[in-house]
Chain A
């Protein structure tokens, strides 16, 4: 089966750096994605890693280690608006590219 584990909550202060970890178990791994969801809103895509290493997109970076079945999302220069839930997701090779999500990490950014 497939499973993803991530912390349920993380708290950080404005301007800080925070790392949200994700470990996964899946067959036919085809990449790790991250999504952000604000309260009452729809999840929105942040990043995708298919290969080992760090991908940077502005203040957000995502890292993948396939040998460790591990990835993380790094948020720098935290802002209040970054308070949201963050989900890691894996895609396997099932027809239609089935995408499975973790339970989500609730990030609280304090002033």
Chain B
């Protein structure tokens, strides 16, 4: 079974702090994704990556950056956390170039910015 592991389940940070959310997958997947999930808004794509050191903006990249130095690890960075970034963050991965390749999600990190 594919395992996508997010480093923290719950995180509380202060406004202005730099925040790192880490995600690791163990199935050698090429593609990795970061979404945030808010009630009534579903899952919104922040950034994704289809290869090491490659990144593409999703629909809501403002205030975020990402890093993919190794194939198995995809980090989401909040340069200066703000209260409107309080949310559930979900990492996902998928295999290669097959259109029907499903996304495998981690259990999420609930981030609270105070």
Whether chain B is bound by chain A comes out as: yes
Q: Which residues of A contact B (CB under 8 A)?
A: 8, 30-31, 33, 35, 41-45, 48, 50, 87, 89, 91, 94-104
Once the chains bind, are B41 and A98 in contact (CB under 8 Å)?
Answer: no
Once the chains bind, are B49 and A98 in contact (CB under 8 Å)?
Answer: no
Which stretch (B12-20, B78-86, B97-105) binds chain A?
A: B97-105
Contacts of A95 in B (CB 8 A): 50, 54, 56
Once the chains bind, are A43 and B31 in contact (CB under 8 Å)?
Answer: no
Q: Which residues of B contact A (CB under 8 A)?
A: 4, 30-31, 33, 35, 40-45, 48-51, 54, 56, 58-59, 90, 92, 94, 97, 99-108
Given contacts A96-B31, A97-B94, A103-B40, whether A33 and B102 have CB atoms under 8 Å apart is: yes
Once the chains bind, are B100 and A97 in contact (CB under 8 Å)?
Answer: no
Bound complex: CA of A45 vs CA of B56, how far in Å?
23
Once the chains bind, are A96 and B100 in contact (CB under 8 Å)?
Answer: no
CB distance from A98 to the nearest CB of B (A): 6
Report how many A-B pairs have Cβ atoms within 8 Å: 69
Closest 8 CB pairs of A and B: A96-B50, A45-B102, A103-B42, A42-B105, A101-B43, A48-B100, A30-B99, A104-B42
CB distance from B79 to the nearest CB of A (A): 23
Contacts of B59 in A (CB 8 A): 100
Bound complex: CA of A43 vs CA of B41, how far in Å?
15
Subset of 13 A-B contacts with CB under 8 Å: A30-B99, A42-B106, A42-B108, A43-B92, A45-B103, A50-B100, A87-B42, A91-B99, A95-B54, A95-B56, A96-B49, A98-B45, A101-B45
Once the chains bind, are B97 and A97 in contact (CB under 8 Å)?
Answer: yes
- Across the interface, name the chain A residue whose C-beta is closest to B102: A45
Once the chains bind, are B105 and A43 in contact (CB under 8 Å)?
Answer: yes
